[in-house]
Chains A and B, each alone.
Chain A
Amino acid sequence: MIEDINMQSRRKLLVGSATTLSAAGLAVVLGSTALPRAARAASGNAAQDIQLLNAALGLEHEGIAAYQLGAESKLLKPDVLKVAVTFQGHHKQHRDDLVAAITKLGGKPVAAKSNFDYAKELNAASLKSQTDVLRLALKLETGATNAYLGVIPSLDQSDLYLFAARVAGDEAFHAAVLGSVLGEPIPEKAPLFG
């Protein structure tokens, strides 16, 4: 497990950060004017948002698993592994915020698949080097950035726009760092995402 690789103090730091950000993130996601759960669940628009947030949650589950697979592959050098663990921590915070939001809207958060399933779906057997792992991570982070940006116009609750944009920013940051480590050239034309 990726957590086993890190020192206890690092785990405490990440867990503490996740807790703090989840509370703050939820306030941003739903705002103080959010309707009660029953009222939300009764709304067709809320049901639609729940579907979309659950798809995003599936994305985060897969991202967490991808970094787990990378860490357990023994292919990452120590400095790169530290960055991967940090990025995985961000995805866990996104996951927790999405679970909270879906629950508050009256939905049931989708569960993660097994790491075996994710390994098959992501073709983990093809990962033979650190570069392979980082290229997979870059692909997923780039795609996630675009996915979050692309879903914003479909969301009904305006409070969710900011949430999706903030997560997209996190994913874009990850993609930028990964691209730099891989020596990817910087695109000349903007916008780079969306």
Chain B
Amino acid sequence: MAGFVRLAGPAVVAMLSIAAASASPAPSAHAPASPSSASAARGAEIYEAKCGACHSLDQNRIGPKHRGVFGRKAGAVPDFPYTAALKKSGIVWNAKTLDTWLQSPVKMVPGTAMGFQLRSAQERADVIAYLKQQSGK
């Protein structure tokens, strides 16, 4: 703990005390049960927290941009360096293919660079609803 204090400094420690006194519900804690109705609003939160390290809607980053992904052929975003495996997969993204993909990308398309698995069926349904909404579908 001494190391933490040295690293973060007095100002951070003070902020920690304030934060500790104001606990709140987790914004995107969903049980891994079978999905109820999908929520694009919940999906936006989950997308931010769990996809946002690599993806955004309008910029190619570690992964390709996602706006318009619904109905798009895999490997089709211009100027993104896809793996050969994904480019030749022939996949068209829809609710079913996205659900399979998010369960295990490497199982669906061996050789892909995406390994992140979203194991909660509810979270997958919510994220897919969000991507569909952001694709204008």
Contact = CB atoms under 8 A, between A and B. Distances in A.
Interface string B103-130: 0111000111111111100000000000
Q: Of residues B50, B62, B119, which shows the largest number of chain A Cβ atoms within 10 Å of its Cβ?
A: B62
Contact of B117 (A59, A153, A184): A153
Contact of A139 (B8, B29, B52): B52
Nearest to A54: B113
A140 B11 CA distance: 22
Interface stretch (A22-30, A67-75, A186-194): A186-194
Interface in B48-79: 48-54, 56, 59-63
Contact of B7 (A83, A186, A188, A190): A83
Interface in B9-44: 9-12, 15-16, 18-20, 22-27, 29
B115 A187 contact: no
Contacts of A52: 106, 113, 115
B62 A181 contact: no
B131 to A, nearest CB: 16
Nearest to B118: A150
Contacts of B100: none
B97 interface: no
B89 interface: no
Q: Is the interface of B mostly helix, strand, loop or mixed?
A: loop
B26 A187 contact: yes
Contact of B15 (A54, A153, A154, A180): A180
Interface string B68-100: 000000000000000100000000000000000
A143 B113 contact: no
- Chain B: interface size category: 35 or more
A62 interface: yes
Q: Of residues B8, B10, B26, B53, which shows the largest number of chain A Cβ atoms within 10 Å of its Cβ?
A: B53
Interface in A1-55: 44, 47-48, 51-52, 54-55
A144 interface: yes
A55 B113 contact: yes
A128 interface: no
Interface string A171-193: 00000010111111111111110
Nearest to A78: B9
B115 A143 contact: no
Contacts of B20: 186
B29 A187 contact: yes
B49 A142 contact: yes
A152 B15 CA distance: 33
Contact of B110 (A44, A122, A147, A150): A44
Per CB-CB distance, the 3 closest pairs between chain A and chain B, nearest first, are A143-B53, A154-B115, A185-B24
